[in-house]
Structure 1
Amino acid sequence: VALNLFKNLTHLTIAGAFNKDYPPFSLDNLSLNMFSSTLTKLSIRVNIFNDCLALLDGHLQRLTTFIVYINSIVYESSPSYMLNNDLPNLKVFSLTSYNDTDQYDMLVVPLLQRMLNLEGLTLYLRVTRRTTFIDGTHIYNKILIHMLQLHTFTFYISSEKRIEVLPLRLSNSDIQRTFTNTLNRQVVCSVHYFSDFDNICHVFSLPFTFDHLEKISNHFPNMIFNSVTYLTLYDIIPFQYKFFVQIAQAFPLLNYLSINNDEPPSLNIYNSRFIDKSWLTIEYPYLTSLDLSFAHIYYINQFLNEKKTILPSLSELIVDYERLKVVTKNFTREKTRRNCATVKRLSVKGSINLENVYRYFPLLLNYECYSNII
């Protein structure tokens, strides 16, 4: 519609990044009627990868800068798109997709290989179900070697291998040594083996400019991520107190935090003789949403107990109801009342007693549960 109304439009931004208040555009069929001979820069959030292909199908003839946020990179047949034509006019391309994909090799790599005259490239990708990690050698041989004009490359790529037998366990240094042709950018590599069939490799350029990081483990590098507001933690070995201190320091602007770990440290959550008196209370000043639905009860106590953690901005809590009852001592415990007092949205697994909940969460506006309310 905008292209029809503004015939001389050169720059257009439509619902950039990932905002739940603005659903992504679906352009699979609409793009067939979209033409512009003036648009040079487009920033847009779309639903699926085919929407991205539709926009690069020759209808935006002068497009030189394309910034696209893709909700889901999944395979869907697209017989009408020109998939083999080069994109010689494109100079700057940015692709961000926060949801994981197993279609990286089939969809993303062939698209990038069409961008022969690219000068600036930004990638944020979470790739799953590969037999090898994505390392510097792969990035150079499959992507960068096709872009002779490229001078700026900013990236975060995580790759997960899920095979029963690993031929070799690569270290951070092994992966680091493969990055010899990435435009002299400083690169960080972090590999973690959760089990023989569940392992992940994070590789990214510095400075880190993205706002999402997912599936971060105990062994993630200790550095500052000033841009990250959305973080998920995952491990099969316990998170210790010092790890959460590190998280608070490394991610000072955190808005969303999810913890997936069902292994607690060897401590009794109520027994004070196990508590190191030198421990400081950890504060997450900007954290508004906390997901503890896959967290051991130890971590629920860690975050709701004001003697351990202060959450002055918390407005959304996602948690198992029975575990919440234990930690709050059936909604009577004073030490957990403060961090619950600001919550406006509560999502729980299990039956919920509304009277107790509303008494303990005085600002609660809405709730969601996954079974009958009692």
Structure 2
Amino acid sequence: MEYSCIGLNELPNEILMIILKKLNNIDVHYSLQGFNQRLNQIIQDRIFTSRLTFVKWFSHNFIDLISCDTILNRFCSQILPEIGHKIQWLDLESSSMKYILCAAHYPNLFGLGLYNISEESARYLFTDEILSSGIFKNQITTLFTTIHNNNNNDDYDEMLLSTRNIFDYIFIFFTNLIDLTFYESSYKNRLPLYFADPPSHTFRSSTLLKLNVRIQSFDDCLYLLDGRFNQLHTLYVDLTSIHRPNHIQNQGNLPNLKCFSLSCKKETYHYAELIPSLLYRMPNLEELEEKRGRCHIYSYPSFMPYYGDITNNFPGGLFNYVRVVSLCDEYPFEHEFFLRIVQSFPFMEELTVINRKGQNDKQSYKSNNDSRISSVIKYSFLNELDLLNVHDDYIEEFLFDTKTYFQNNVLLRIKCESLQRVTHNFTRDITRMNCTKINELELSGEPICSDSLQEYFSYARISYPLII
């Protein structure tokens, strides 16, 4: 690294800034801080110090970027004490968050991202004498939190209580909280909430203005609007399902609410019965006209983790929170359409394609007789791909290595006969590379009795859960 630093030191400031902006701020500080006075001055620019993110999304969960004790010790003993006064936001994983928060003085810190926290880690953090007696309680106004629930825990009541206790810790500890985002660590799950009767004196806030949650039931949504957050003006709620609620008190008007977004993972048959009456309680919503709920999909940033039934008319945009996408149309999807999808959903992990119409403008692929090569689309985070209901052209779209690049460990759902046709009975070279990246192959149709299938999908666990 010393030789790299010497090379960087010879570059003009403008070029050096361009290079460093492309790197993670954690890497910048760990590699360059203390090398010389010039580099120190550059990396202490607010671009590199205002927000430090010590976590990374990886395979359904957040991981700690400084799990190595050597790196953690250097940050806590040397780097953070020097730049702590410039830091405004920290993103931390539960295993190292307390060490980092106690490592320096952060007079300008207003935002925290706390990832993978459990009831135990929350109690450990929020009851710490140093933190609870310091300025954190008063100066943190924005909090992004993801909860890690043990999947092996079959005690649902215990999980409810655990989530509720974490909520209590948050509102007791952060006395001036204005903006709260509260999710499960995995985008696939929704938080179960527990509301005591009578209502808790701690699970409430008179300062909270904005709340963004992914929760399980419509009951939970109504409880959040029962007056416990009486200053709330923005609420984003993503539900698992909408059913008839239990009897919930305090169903009065919500005059402070200006922005309300309600999304649901599953279809509901109770929209007319439940949703209009909820909207009538919000007389000052700026997203509604004539007291009728209207679909403003593009009028505000989407926090939903899924986006379904996209057609060729999709206008584009950037949806950083979306992880699950489905495409469905009676008109063909061309190669350029998939490029637009990747650009709009850069963190997409699950993709379902439904289209029986073949492509009109099929991208050519490299061959001995044709030098044209289609632009390769990179799916950086894709780990589930459903091609059960598609024309063969779309199987080629994803399996041709001249059209698509994705990482290893992808689950593919597909029909047996379609797969055999496109791969030329598992002999085709142009589909071979992407097939080696499949680690789970779920097949529908008559089982294939051939050794060549397993040889072709050499790293895949092959199953037939979709036999019809």
TM-score of the pair, normalised by structure 2: 0.52
Comparing 288-297 with 263-272, greater Cα deviation is found at 263-272
Q: 1:52–1:9: structure 2 CA closer, same or farther, 3 Å change rule?
A: farther
The alignment status of 1:315 with 2:464, answered yes or no, reads no
Q: How does 1:190-229 map to 2 (within 5 A)?
A: 203-205=297-299, 210-229=304-323
Q: Is the CA contact 1:36–1:61 (under 8 Å) kept in the aligned structure 2?
A: no
Q: For 2:291, which of 137, 142, 149 is the aligned residue?
A: 142
Write the distance in 1 (CA, Å) between the matches of 2:369 and 2:291: 53
The alignment status of 1:69 with 2:238, answered yes or no, reads yes
The structure carrying a bigger strand percent of its residues is 1
Q: For 2:264, which of 83, 94, 97 is the aligned residue?
A: 97
Q: For 2:445, which of 327, 334, 350 is the aligned residue?
A: 350
Give the superposition deviation at 1:299: 0.6
Q: 1:330–1:339: structure 2 CA closer, same or farther, 3 Å change rule?
A: same
The alignment status of 1:327 with 2:414, answered yes or no, reads no
Q: Is the CA contact 1:18–1:45 (under 8 Å) kept in the aligned structure 2?
A: no
Write the distance in 2 (CA, Å) between the matches of 1:90 and 1:206: 15
Q: Is the CA contact 2:184–2:191 (under 8 Å) kept in the aligned structure 1?
A: no
Query: Which amino acid in structure 2 is aligned with residue 240 of structure 1?
Result: E
Instruction: Please give the secondary structure, in 2, of the residue aligned with 1:316.
Output: strand
Q: Which residue of 1 aligns with 2:455?
A: 359
Query: Residue by residue, what CA displacement relative to the aligned partner does 1:251-293 show, whole Å, maximum 9, x if unpaired?
Result: 4333222111011135899998998936323332332221111
Write the distance in 1 (CA, Å) between the matches of 2:213 and 2:325: 23
The alignment status of 1:369 with 2:465, answered yes or no, reads yes
Query: Which amino acid in structure 2 is aligned with residue 245 of structure 1?
Result: L
Write the distance in 2 (CA, Å) between the matches of 1:141 and 1:116: 10
Give the superposition deviation at 1:328: 1.6
Query: Which amino acid in structure 1 is aligned with residue 465 of structure 2?
Result: C
Instruction: Please give the secondary structure, in 2, of the residue aligned with 1:253.
Output: coil
Give the superposition deviation at 1:308: 2.3
TM-score of the pair, normalised by structure 1: 0.63
Query: Residue by residue, what CA displacement relative to the aligned partner does 1:113-167 show, whole Å, maximum 9, x if unpaired?
Result: 2135679x8xxxxxxxxxxxxxxxxx311259xxxxxxxxxxx93xxxxxxxxxx
Give the superposition deviation at 1:66: 5.2
The alignment status of 1:19 with 2:187, answered yes or no, reads yes
Instruction: Please give the secondary structure, in 1, of the residue aligned with 2:342.
Output: helix
Give the superposition deviation at 1:95: 3.2
Q: 1:34–1:330: structure 2 CA closer, same or farther, 3 Å change rule?
A: farther
Q: 1:141–1:117: structure 2 CA closer, same or farther, 3 Å change rule?
A: closer
Q: Which residue of 1 aligns with 2:172?
A: 8
Write the distance in 1 (CA, Å) between the matches of 2:334 and 2:462: 33
Q: 1:117–1:350: structure 2 CA closer, same or farther, 3 Å change rule?
A: same
Q: For 1:50, which of 193, 202, 219 is the aligned residue?
A: 219
The structure carrying a bigger helix percent of its residues is 2
Which structure is higher in RCO with an 8 Å CA cutoff and minimum separation 6? 1
Query: Residue by residue, what CA displacement relative to the aligned partner does 1:341-374 show, whole Å, maximum 9, x if unpaired?
Result: 12222222124347544322233246452239xx
Instruction: Please give the secondary structure, in 2, of the residue aligned with 1:140.
Output: coil
Q: 1:26–1:345: structure 2 CA closer, same or farther, 3 Å change rule?
A: farther
Q: How does 1:299-314 map to 2 (within 5 A)?
A: 299-313=394-408
Instruction: Please give the secondary structure, in 2, of the residue aligned with 1:231.
Output: strand
Write the distance in 2 (CA, Å) between the matches of 1:274 and 1:231: 36
Q: Which residue of 1 aligns with 2:201?
A: 36
Calculate percent identity across the aligned residue pairs. 30
Query: Which amino acid in structure 2 is aligned with residue 47 of structure 1?
Result: Q
Which of structures 1 and 2 has the bigger CA Rg? 2
Q: Is the CA contact 1:211–1:227 (under 8 Å) kept in the aligned structure 2?
A: yes
Instruction: Please give the secondary structure, in 2, of the residue aligned with 1:204.
Output: coil
Give the superposition deviation at 1:37: 4.7
Q: 1:18–1:53: structure 2 CA closer, same or farther, 3 Å change rule?
A: farther
Instruction: Please give the secondary structure, in 1, of the residue aligned with 2:298.
Output: strand
Gaps of 5+ in 2: 1-160
Instruction: Please give the secondary structure, in 1, of the residue aligned with 2:381.
Output: coil
Write the distance in 2 (CA, Å) between the matches of 1:210 and 1:88: 25
Q: Is the CA contact 1:350–1:369 (under 8 Å) kept in the aligned structure 2?
A: no
Q: Which residue of 1 aligns with 2:348?
A: 254
Query: Which amino acid in structure 1 is aligned with residue 276 of structure 2?
Result: V
Q: Is the CA contact 1:209–1:227 (under 8 Å) kept in the aligned structure 2?
A: yes
Q: 1:206–1:274: structure 2 CA closer, same or farther, 3 Å change rule?
A: farther
Write the distance in 2 (CA, Å) between the matches of 1:206 and 1:85: 26
Q: 1:36–1:312: structure 2 CA closer, same or farther, 3 Å change rule?
A: same
Query: Residue by residue, what CA displacement relative to the aligned partner does 1:4-36 show, whole Å, maximum 9, x if unpaired?
Result: 97593667865448633x454265xx5546523
Give the superposition deviation at 1:304: 0.5
Aligned pairs, how many?
A: 293
Q: For 2:358, which of 238, 261, 264 is the aligned residue?
A: 264
Q: Is the CA contact 1:228–1:254 (under 8 Å) kept in the aligned structure 2?
A: yes
Comparing 8-17 with 64-73, greater Cα deviation is found at 8-17
Instruction: Please give the secondary structure, in 2, of the residue aligned with 1:205.
Output: coil
Instruction: Please give the secondary structure, in 1, of the residue aligned with 2:421.
Output: helix
Gaps of 5+ in 1: 122-138, 145-155, 158-201
Q: Is the CA contact 1:18–1:69 (under 8 Å) kept in the aligned structure 2?
A: no
Q: 1:268–1:251: structure 2 CA closer, same or farther, 3 Å change rule?
A: closer
Instruction: Please give the secondary structure, in 2, of the residue aligned with 1:326.
Output: helix
Write the distance in 1 (CA, Å) between the matches of 2:181 and 2:318: 30
Q: 1:276–1:349: structure 2 CA closer, same or farther, 3 Å change rule?
A: farther
Query: Residue by residue, what CA displacement relative to the aligned partner does 1:42-94 show, whole Å, maximum 9, x if unpaired?
Result: 65433231332244345x36574755321112x4253x224742235767755
